Amino acid sequence: MTLEIMMPFYGSPEQFRIAVESVLAQTSPDWRLTVVDDVYPDLEPGKWVSSLGDERITYLRNKENLGPSRNFNKCLELSGQEYVTFIGCDDALLPNYVAEITRMVTSFPRASILQPGVRTIDHDGRPSRGPAEIIKSLIRPLKKGQGVLSGEKLARSLLRGNWAYFPALAWRTQDLRALGFRSEFNVVQDLMLILELVESGHEFAVSSEPAFLYRRHKSSYSAMTGTNGSKFREESTLYDEISRRLSEKGWNKAARSARIHVFSRLEALSLLPSAIVNRDRQGQSDMIRHALGRPFRDLTSSDVD
């Protein structure tokens, strides 16, 4: 098995180098890396990766900036292997990542989504374990070992709080391609895809064996959209849609978790002080609205109370 590793690039050149070097350091040689540059202003990162001279690495630069979801869809279209990973250009693989995913595919051949163990690091690459990691570890159904999850129980656990790490996931390409990334979502597109696959009967394999380094830092896209409130507009739209669909399916416990989305609302409340300090009235309004469970009109409306 050859693992397709897609890296949408727009970010720190230094962290990008670390991410690429982590792929080169894999104990298993069975990988292909494609970097899709979303028109990052500095051309040097592209020149550097092109100079590596490894035939397994391809560098492409978009003609125009596509934004996160459209660039993910382009990466998906380019994927030619049975399984694909979308590594963040600020994250890193541990040396055993490809070997661990290959082992998991052998153990769980029916799984459409696979997640190995994940360690978190801060901006400077130091081990980090903040509130988000503590919560994820508490609500994740499988704490140790490995196993496969599916059905309403899996949907309910993800809707209580999203414990998955999108950049660490390996996906069965054909199952993912049947759905694609939805363009209206730039932050929660991973959770929507996972839930749609789970709703369709697909399985999610999980291992606690560490194989991925997830970088949590203030300049990441999800962190920036969280502090200005737009992330919660997306989450509100997702939870409203999913709760209706799961109710129609008869997954009432999972639908209730979607309606309540307690950890998402608590996160909005925890970020409210930063919006107040920054005098961001729109962000304050969005966070309060989400924390109170009040619906948004749509993803683009800007109703400031």
Q: Among 165, 187, 217, where does a domain finish?
A: 217
Alpha carbons within 13 angstroms on the beta-carbon side of residue 31 total 30
Which structure tokens are listed for 187?
A: 């932050």
Q: Among 153, 182, 217, where does a domain finish?
A: 217
What predicted TM-score, i.e. pTM, was given to this entire model? 0.87
Distances 256 to 76, 83, 134, 220, 244 between C-alpha atoms, Å = 32, 33, 23, 30, 10
Residues 28 and 140 in one domain: yes
Q: Residue 63 belongs to a domain with what CATH number?
A: 3.90.550.10
Residues 62 and 141 in one domain: yes
Residue 116 is inside which H or E element, if any? strand 111-121
To the nearest 10 degrees (0 to 180), the angle between helices 151-160 and 189-199 is: 160
What is the spatial distance between Cα 65 and Cα 39, in angstroms, rounded to a whole number?
A: 5
Identify the residue whose tokens are 């994820």. 136
pLDDT at 227: 54
Query: Where does 108-229 have alpha helices with state H?
Result: 131-139, 151-160, 173-177, 189-199, 221-227
Say how many domains are in the chain: 2
Residues 130 and 47 in one domain: yes
253 within some domain: yes
* Average pLDDT per block of 10 residues along the chain, 305 residues long: 97 97 98 98 97 97 95 96 98 98 98 97 91 85 91 95 95 96 89 96 97 80 54 88 96 94 81 82 80 65 39
Residue 92 is inside which H or E element, if any? strand 92-93
304 within some domain: no
157 within some domain: yes
296 within some domain: no
40, 10 contact by CB (below 8 A): yes
181, 69 contact by CB (below 8 A): yes
pLDDT at 299: 46
Percent helix, strand, coil in the chain (nearest 5)? 45, 20, 35
What is the spatial distance between Cα 43 and Cα 264, in angstroms, rounded to a whole number?
A: 37
297 within some domain: no
Q: Which domain holds residue 100?
A: 3-217
What is the spatial distance between Cα 228 and Cα 278, in angstroms, rounded to a whole number?
A: 9
232 within some domain: yes
Residues 92 and 149 in one domain: yes
280 within some domain: yes
Q: Among 194, 217, 240, where does a domain finish?
A: 217
